[in-house]
Structures are given as C-alpha cells and as structure tokens.
Amino acid sequence: MSVSVSQSTRPELRDYLQLTRLHKPIGILLLLCPTWWALWLAAQGVPDLKILAIFTAGVVLMRSAGCAINDYFDRDIDGDVKRTAGRPLVQGRIPADHAIWVAALLSLISLLLVLQLNRLTIQLALVAALLAATYPLFKRFTYLPQAYLGLSFGWGIPMAFAAIQGTIPSIAWLLLLANIFWTIAYDTEYAMVDRDDDRILGLRSTAILFGEDDCRAVALLQISALTTLLLVGLHPDSGLDGLFYLFLAAAVGLSVYFQILIRNRDRQRCFKAFLRNSWWGATIFAGIALDLLSRS
C-alpha cells in the first residue's frame, strides 16, 4: 500500500529523521559495536583518532542511507505491517524519490570520508555500499535475509583491519563470522515481532524458517557467536587475556536473559530482547578495550 504526497503537504525535518531512523539509535549501536571491536583489535588499543572518527561517522551515514533505501523498496508493503505503518513514505509525508536522493547524498558523504584511507579500504567500502543497497531485496526470495544483514553490518570489520594494518588477517574473518551469528540471532528476535504480518505478505525471514524451533535456533546462534568470540580471544594475534573472558562470560548471561524474554514469543518481549542486544555488543567491546588497555 503506497500513499502519494499531497501538493499541500511539505516534508518536515522530523519526517527525514524518521526516514533515516536517526530518532532510533539502536541500529547505529548494533552496527557500531562490531566496527569498534575490529578497530581496537586491529590497533591493539585505541585506534588513530582520525580513523576512529571516519569509521564512526561512516557507520551513522551508511546506516541512515540503508534505512532510506529499505523504506523505498518497502513502501508498498510497510502500510500492511503494524510496526511500520506510520513510516513517512507510507503516510505520504515524503515523496518516494526523496528517499533515493537522501540515500545517495549520505552515501556520497561517506565515500568522501573513506577516500582519506588506503586503497584496500576504499575497495572494501564499495562492497559495503553494494551490501547496504541490496539487503532490502533479500527478504523477497530467501528465508535468510538476517545472514545477509550480518555480512552487511559486519563488513566494517575487514575494512577496519584494512585501514589500520593494510591487510585483512585471519582474525578479522573470524570476528566477522562471530558478528554474522550474533546478527542472525538478534534479527530473528526482531523478525519474531513481524512474523504474522510477513506470512500474510509473503515475505521471508529466519523467524518463519525456524518456526516452532525459533527459540532453540536463537540459542544455537548465540552459542555459535560466543564460541567464535572465544576463538577470537584465543587467536595469537588478538592480544587478549583474562579480562576479555570475564566480559565474554557476562555476554553469556545476557544471552540467557534474551532466551527468557523470547520464550513465550510475546511481541513486546521479543522486541525488548532485540533492543537489549546493544548491551551485548557493548559488553564485548568493553572486554576488548579494557583488556587491551590493561595490557598496555
């Protein structure tokens, strides 16, 4: 269901804030955490402030651009989903082509920032832009859009290592794998909120794929993410020691808490579990940053 924009209606700033989700920082936090994991590991401590600023700004810009693209592709179906029915494109508060222009502008600014880094990082940034632009299409033909989102949200990991070390070591790919497991877990919790609507609309997600085994699948994905992060800590290039494992244990506790929230499949509690994953990502970052700080 799409709504045309009335000639008497002029988009307001808040409409563009909603389009880019800047009023909902959870997406920024979930994207920023793995990027910061990688920056600190690649630098073995606090990274160069210029690189840190470029990556942090890039996360905000590209997440916002991705949201605008997502709303453009979903403008004809968001109106039939309770959670998304109030979005500005659905309500006709912003012309559809404005979403494309907003995404293009934000992507251009992000590219100008990346151009200050080395060639390998620039090449990886082009892949990141492709991932962000194509993600919204995957829920139309695969039950695993969450896996593609994990790759998209984690692509800052190899980029961070490339920017700091000029190469992509094996630990970077291991960290990316951990992020993919984590992303599928939390985005499945998110998809559990919209599952009934998605079935009616013919859309696909891991929540639909897993069916009655959804909670067990999320638990397995959480275990996979934690195990992979354990391997990251044990990797000879990690520089991590005991303090990291203490925070990793705290992340285990949070994973158990998420299972308690989603076990009855209540929409609000599933959404709460999704939101609390920012705590999980921040806990892992704290473990990496504080461990490296203590060793230095």
As given in the structure block, the two tokens for residue 81 are 């989903």
Check residue 258 and give its pLDDT.
98
* Domains of the chain as residue ranges with CATH: 13-295 (1.10.357.140)
pLDDT for residue 5 is more than 60: no
Q: Which residue has the higher pLDDT, 31 or 137?
A: 31
* CA–CA distance, 12 with 182 (Å, rounded to integer): 36
- For residues 159-171, one letter each, b for 16 or more C-beta atoms within 10 angstroms of the residue's C-beta and e for the rest, the string is bbbbbbbeebeeb
The band of 85, judged by pLDDT with boundaries at 50, 70 and 90, is confident
* CA–CA distance, 68 with 71 (Å, rounded to integer): 5
Beta-carbon count within 10 A of 220 CB: 15
pLDDT for residue 117 is more than 70: yes
Mean pLDDT (the chain) is 91
* CA–CA distance, 38 with 50 (Å, rounded to integer): 15
The band of 11, judged by pLDDT with boundaries at 50, 70 and 90, is confident
Query: CA 113: distance to chain centroid?
Result: 20
Give the residue among 207, 182, 223 at the shortest CA–CA distance from 267: 207
* CA–CA distance, 146 with 123 (Å, rounded to integer): 24
As given in the structure block, the two tokens for residue 139 are 């829920």
Q: Is the whole-model pTM more than 0.85?
A: yes
Provide mean pLDDT across the span 14-27.
90
Q: What is the pLDDT of residues 131-169, one digit of tens each?
A: 988 888 877 788 888 899 999 999 999 999 999 999 999
CB 262 within 8 A of CB 270: yes
pLDDT for residue 240 is more than 50: yes
Query: CA 271: distance to chain centroid?
Result: 15
pLDDT for residue 127 is more than 50: yes
Check residue 3 and give its pLDDT.
45
* CA–CA distance, 16 with 281 (Å, rounded to integer): 27
* DSSP 8-state symbol, 235: S
Q: What is the pLDDT of residues 162-193, one digit of tens each?
A: 999 999 999 999 999 999 999 999 999 999 99
pLDDT for residue 109 is more than 50: yes
Measured CA to CA in angstroms, residue 32 lies from 189, 253, 262, 272 at distances of 19, 22, 24, 19
CB 19 within 8 A of CB 89: yes
CB 91 within 8 A of CB 59: no
* CA–CA distance, 248 with 285 (Å, rounded to integer): 10
Q: What is the pLDDT of residues 194-234, one digit of tens each?
A: 888 888 888 888 889 999 999 999 999 999 999 999 999 99
Check residue 142 and give its pLDDT.
82
Backbone conformation region of residue 266, classed left if phi is above 0, alpha if psi is from -120 to 50, else beta: beta
* CA–CA distance, 198 with 191 (Å, rounded to integer): 9
Provide mean pLDDT across the span 18-38.
93
pLDDT for residue 9 is more than 80: no
Provide mean pLDDT across the span 28-40.
97
The band of 79, judged by pLDDT with boundaries at 50, 70 and 90, is confident
Provide mean pLDDT across the span 53-73.
93
pLDDT for residue 66 is more than 50: yes
